[in-house]
């Protein structure tokens, strides 16, 4: 059908499109566009995501941290620098694992004494010799691909702690599916971290949006603040802000 070809041609040019955009561009109802996208996905010609479609596979596999660290490194550093600005008045914060939170750790230089609880060995090492920072390293089994501990021992410590903010890196942010990571046990630990924190701050470069991974952490409604880069689409940014979530775009 000619309409299908037009949809695919637009997607080839834009890489990522919304139902609303296609509806206006082709002068067709959004209901029809959604049916078309479902059919084209069944034919493996595209992938549907929240409110539209993309050419990029939305499912994320486990990738070693030493590989991920060099992906979008410039954006991760900018996000980390922005995140470091919001911790001055905090005494106890939680930091999960991931390359974006590692970039954040490199920018932390608090003027007041703080205690940082972390599941990530590389984050702990980064903070170890910094002034005004005490580090509580969670214990447990170590995931080599993420440099993070997981398991019962970590969760026991978290049940006995309360922190003002959790800085969480994720593998995927889908506004329907929620936040996710590639390992179910790490997702479970992240859930406990959320329970132990007053505020959840997500540090994620724009490539993480519209993606899903194996272990679901929580719904988007559990998030208070997202810090990302300027690559985030206008449609997703507007939707996030409409949910009452603070959105910061790092330059």
CA 148 from centroid of its chain's CA atoms: 16
Per-residue pLDDT, averaged over 122-133, amounts to 94
User: Are residues 218 and 186 located together in one domain of the fold?
Assistant: yes
pLDDT in tens, 226-243: 999 999 988 899 999 999
User: Are residues 120 and 21 located together in one domain of the fold?
Assistant: no
pLDDT of amino acid 73: 85
Task: Indicate the number of domains in the chain.
Answer: 2
pLDDT of amino acid 64: 60
Q: Which residues constitute the domain of residue 12?
A: 2-57
- pTM score: 0.77
Q: Is the pLDDT of residue 59 over 80?
A: no
pLDDT of amino acid 246: 98
pLDDT of amino acid 133: 95
pLDDT in tens, 150-183: 989 999 999 999 999 999 999 999 998 999 998 8
Last residue of one domain, picked from the residues 57, 81, 103: 57
User: Are residues 32 and 98 located together in one domain of the fold?
Assistant: no
CATH (domain of 149): 3.40.50.1360
C-alpha to C-alpha distance for 11 and 16, rounded to whole angstroms: 6
Per-residue pLDDT, averaged over 14-19, amounts to 80
pLDDT in tens, 73-96: 899 999 999 999 999 788 999 999
pLDDT of amino acid 2: 82
User: Are residues 170 and 217 located together in one domain of the fold?
Assistant: yes
C-alpha to C-alpha distance for 97 and 86, rounded to whole angstroms: 19
User: Are residues 122 and 220 located together in one domain of the fold?
Assistant: yes
Last residue of one domain, picked from the residues 37, 57, 77: 57
User: Are residues 23 and 106 located together in one domain of the fold?
Assistant: no
**What share of the chain has pLDDT > 70, as a percent?**
93
User: Are residues 52 and 76 located together in one domain of the fold?
Assistant: no
Q: Is the pLDDT of residue 38 over 70?
A: yes
User: Are residues 19 and 139 located together in one domain of the fold?
Assistant: no
DSSP per residue, 28-86:
--HHHHHHHHHHHHHTTS-EEETTEEESS--EE----HHHHTTTTHHHHHHHHHHHHTT
User: Are residues 81 and 166 located together in one domain of the fold?
Assistant: yes
Cross-strand partners of 229: 250
Bin 151: left if φ > 0, else alpha if -120 < ψ < 50, else beta: left
**What share of the chain has pLDDT > 90, as a percent?**
59
CB contact at 8 A, 84 and 109: yes
User: Are residues 23 and 87 located together in one domain of the fold?
Assistant: no
CB contact at 8 A, 25 and 10: yes
C-alpha to C-alpha distance for 45 and 41, rounded to whole angstroms: 6
User: Are residues 226 and 142 located together in one domain of the fold?
Assistant: yes
User: What is the pLDDT confidence band of residue 65, given thresholds at 50, 70 and 90?
Assistant: low
User: Are residues 113 and 30 located together in one domain of the fold?
Assistant: no
CATH (domain of 18): 1.10.10.10
Q: Is the pLDDT of residue 188 over 80?
A: yes
């Amino acid at each position: 059908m000619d309409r299908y070809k037009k949809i695919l041609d637009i997607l080839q040019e834009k890489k990522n499109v919304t139902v609303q955009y296609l509806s206006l561009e082709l002068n067709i109802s959004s209901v029809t566009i959604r049916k078309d996208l479902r059919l084209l996905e069944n034919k493996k010609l595209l992938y549907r995501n929240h409110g539209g479609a993309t050419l990029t596979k939305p499912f994320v596999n486990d990738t070693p941290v030493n590989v991920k660290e060099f992906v979008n490194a410039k954006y991760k550093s900018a996000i980390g620098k922005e995140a470091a600005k919001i911790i001055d008045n905090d005494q106890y914060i939680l930091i999960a694992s991931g390359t974006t939170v590692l970039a954040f750790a490199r920018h932390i230089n608090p003027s007041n004494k703080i205690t940082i609880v972390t599941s990530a060995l590389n984050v702990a090492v980064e903070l170890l010799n910094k002034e005004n920072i005490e580090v509580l390293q969670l214990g447990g089994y170590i995931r080599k691909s993420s440099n993070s501990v997981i398991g019962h021992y970590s969760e026991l410590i978290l049940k006995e702690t309360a922190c003002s903010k959790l800085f969480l890196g994720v593998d995927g942010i889908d506004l329907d599916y929620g936040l996710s990571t590639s390992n179910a046990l790490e997702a479970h630990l992240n859930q406990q971290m959320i329970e132990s924190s007053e505020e959840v701050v997500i540090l994620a470069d724009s490539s993480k949006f519209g993606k899903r991974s194996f272990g679901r952490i929580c719904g988007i409604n559990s998030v208070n603040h997202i810090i990302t880069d300027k690559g985030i689409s206008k449609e997703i940014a507007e939707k996030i802000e409409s949910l009452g979530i603070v959105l910061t775009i790092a330059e």
